[in-house]
């Protein structure tokens, strides 16, 4: 018998990330919500374990969804910065692409929303309620216009910073 052999029933632990370094999302529900639950701000419905755009009865429980809570608290999960000479000369075209992408995502996923789009000194800052939406916006812009894309996930937090330039 080899000394390095793992006994049956015991699984190896991945050391890619320390155990204490897990993403923490203060906006994720602590427990399972009763079904159906409707968000009084946006009308999204928690059903079958996720938020959806569906009709529900008037007597459904009411609770704000994580996206509406993030908007209310002004606590984005994603920051997208777009800049560069190419960006400056195609700003409105790129804005339309971003809004189209965000509308498409929100139609399927109620928690994926743009919170704000701001022009700041030759750059555009987009804040989102979801890390995946921020990353998706960056990837959509890079796919359409090439350029340099950098995605920084903040370790231990549910936060992503995306930078695109050309």
Query: Do 87 and 140 reside in the same domain of the chain?
Result: yes
- Are 101 and 42 part of one and the same domain? no
Q: What is the pLDDT of residue 32?
A: 84
Number of domains in the chain: 2
Q: Which of 30-44, 72-86, 123-137 has the lowest mean pLDDT?
A: 30-44
**CA dist., res. 39 & res. 45, Å (int):** 6
Instruction: Give 60's Cβ-side CA count (13 Å radius).
Output: 20
* Whether residue 161 sits in one domain with residue 84: yes
The residue written with tokens 């755009």 in the block is 53
Terminal-residue alpha carbon distance, the chain = 59
Q: Coil, strand or helix: which one is 91?
A: helix
Are residues 86 and 146 in contact, defined by beta-carbon separation less than 8 angstroms?
no
Condensed to tens digits (0 to 9), the pLDDT of residues 76-124 reads 999 999 999 999 999 999 999 999 999 999 999 999 999 999 998 889 9
pLDDT of 12 higher than 90: no
Residue 148 has pLDDT above 50, yes or no: yes
Q: Is-cis flag, bond preceding 36, omega within 30?
A: yes
Full domain range(s) for residue 49:
37-66
Identify the DSSP state of 139: H
Percent of the chain with pLDDT over 90: 73
Tell me the average pLDDT across 53-59.
93
Q: Does residue 2 lie within any of the structural domains?
A: no
* Spatial contact of 139 and 149, defined as CB atoms under 8 Å apart: yes
Tell me 17's DSSP state: S
Residue 146 lies in a domain: yes
Instruction: Evaluate if residue 16 carries a pLDDT over 80.
Output: no
CB 107 within 8 A of CB 54: no
């Amino acid at each position: 018998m080899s000394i390095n052999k793992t006994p049956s029933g015991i699984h190896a632990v991945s050391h890619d990330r320390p155990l204490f370094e897990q993403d923490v999302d203060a906006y994720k529900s602590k427990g399972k919500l009763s079904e159906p639950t409707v968000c009084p701000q946006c009308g999204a419905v928690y059903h079958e374990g996720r938020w959806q755009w569906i009709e529900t009865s008037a007597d459904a429980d009411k609770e704000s969804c994580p996206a509406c809570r993030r908007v209310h608290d002004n606590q984005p999960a994603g920051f997208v910065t777009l800049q560069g000479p190419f960006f400056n000369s195609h700003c409105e075209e790129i804005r339309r692409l971003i809004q189209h992408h965000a509308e498409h995502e929100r139609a399927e996923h109620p928690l994926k929303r743009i919170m704000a789009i701001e022009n700041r000194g030759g750059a555009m800052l987009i804040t989102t309620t979801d890390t995946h939406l921020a990353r998706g916006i960056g990837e959509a812009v890079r796919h359409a216009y090439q350029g340099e894309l950098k995605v920084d996930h903040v370790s231990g937090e549910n936060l992503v910073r995306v930078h695109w330039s050309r």
